[in-house]
């Protein structure tokens, strides 16, 4: 499946923390750690575990820019 989202960043899963309905998954993407909040159901369905390869997918309209 190809997706319209402009940001599909390849990385390695470094942490998975499940809450009651929402899980936090952290990915190492070229030295930067990216945090995703997804459903517990998605974690199970995609069999996400530490050490696995995965992509962080972000729509460009959800990315802000900041400067010092």
**Interface contacts to a second copy, rule CB under 8 A:** 1-10, 17-25, 27, 29-32, 34-39, 41-43, 45-48, 52-68
* Tokens coding 25: 């998954």
In terms of CB distance, is 17 or 50 closer to a second copy? 17
Which of 27, 50, 52, 48 shows the shortest CA–CA distance to 39?
48
CB of 51 to a second copy, least distance (A): 13
CB 22 within 8 A of CB 58: no
Q: How far is the CB of 50 from a second copy (least distance, A)?
A: 13
- Give me the residue label for tokens 């402009």: 6
């Amino acid at each position: 499946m190809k997706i319209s989202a402009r940001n599909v960043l390849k990385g390695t899963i470094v942490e998975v923390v499940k809450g009651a309905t929402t899980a936090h998954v952290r990915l190492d993407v070229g030295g930067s750690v990216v945090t995703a909040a997804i459903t517990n159901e998605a974690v199970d369905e995609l069999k996400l575990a530490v050490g696995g390869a995965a992509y962080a997918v972000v729509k460009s309209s959800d990315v802000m820019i900041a400067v010092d």
